[in-house]
Amino acid sequence: MNYDALLVLSFGGPEHPDDVLPFLRNVTRGRGVPDERLAVVAEQYALFGGRSPINDQCRQLIAALETELAEHDLDLPIYWGNRNWHPMLTDTVQQMTADGVRRALVFVTSAFGSYSGCRQYREDLASAIEGLDNAPTLEKLRLFYNHPGFLVPAADRVATALAAHPVDTSAPDDRGKHRLIFTAHSIPNSMAAVCDYESQLREAAGLIVELLPGTAPAWDLVYQSRSGPPQVPWLEPDVGDHLEALSEDGIEQVTVVPLGFVSDHMEVLYDLDTQAAARASELGIGLTRAATVGTDPAFVSMIRELVEERLHDRPRLFLGSSGAWPDQCPEGHCIAATGGRPRGATAPVQRPE
């Protein structure tokens, strides 16, 4: 098919202290969360100057992607819209309509399938064109959790982090004191039951370990950044609880991999680099955090390859045995399960991206 634009769709984040509460109100819209509870979350942003890095990271990704497309003779203007902060998706789609865009591909900065990381973005796209005359057709690119352009640079970053505390493979006791921990944003169990989020994360983690040179430490998949009342079950174990359990097992060093995130935004900077690092220090565990893929050239090329799949019917690249995710998500996949997030629950700072 012919396409005349590429839309980068992300979560969005505040860029000034005055933006923080309005942003959090957008995130929790319709859930009855009072401002006094949002103010507690806002304090996390205050530690970083009242600014999330996510918008800057989107700008950097778009700049790299513009160069990548130009170098491969792909004449597609790139637009950018967010779910929860400026540039808002609805405003961006209005501009695309005014510019005469008729059919656009959409890259969502979320590798894994869940309601908030997949279907909700598709709902956002549908809402953005509702009521617009001559609105463009917006077609989401497939999930990329097992694409080599995501996994290979992720493995490179894990290898770099592990090199700071190499495992002596000739000393089993030494190897047993180091653990590799993959983390992702927790979601309610009821939401996890109607998507492949857990299995995709576990598959991606296993594939990354296979890509590592030499012998890697044993690895675990854990979760972070849960919210809501404690009586509502979310995916576990929590990274902090897991660190405590590892301490009891004699683990002295951990390498944390923020697998569920493509860039170092607030969940990484606060929940891992601040909270988890402090907890590890209290427990006497050394913690090294692997970088996210960010604007790695292989990751930027992956986005171009996903575009070319649709433009020119190019090979659909993947690692592992699950195959490439389909262009159209399966019917009934990633639905918003009843009871997934109770009304009034404190929302996470950001959802899985």
Residue type, 235: L
In this predicted model, what pLDDT tens digit does every residue of 47-83 receive, in sequence order?
A: 999 999 999 999 999 999 999 999 999 999 999 999 9
Architecture of domain 5-144+296-312: 3-Layer(aba) Sandwich (3.40)
Longest dimension (CA), the chain: 68
Checking if the pLDDT of 344 tops 80, the result is no
CATH of 148-289, one of 3.40.50.1400, 3.40.50.10420, 1.10.3080.10, 3.40.50.300: 3.40.50.1400
In this predicted model, what pLDDT tens digit does every residue of 215-266 receive, in sequence order?
A: 889 999 999 999 877 888 999 999 999 999 999 999 999 999 999 999 999 9
CA 281/CA 289 separation, integer angstroms: 13
- Confidence tier at 171 by pLDDT (50, 70, 90): low
In the chain, list all ranges with CATH 3.40.50.1400: 5-144+296-312, 148-289
Checking if the pLDDT of 347 tops 60, the result is no
For 179, residues 6+ apart whose C-beta sits below 8 A from its C-beta are 217, 218, 219, 220, 246, 251, 253, 254, 255
Half-sphere exposure of 312 (CA within 13 A, CB side): 10
CB atoms within 10 A of CB 234: 21
Mean of pLDDT over the chain: 92
Return the axis-axis angle of helices 89-98 and 120-129, rounded to nearest 10°: 50
pTM, 2 dp: 0.93
In this predicted model, what pLDDT tens digit does every residue of 323-333 receive, in sequence order?
A: 999 999 888 88
- What pLDDT is attached to residue 31? 84
- Confidence tier at 10 by pLDDT (50, 70, 90): very high
Mean pLDDT of 326-349: 60
Checking if the pLDDT of 126 tops 70, the result is yes
- What pLDDT is attached to residue 169? 59
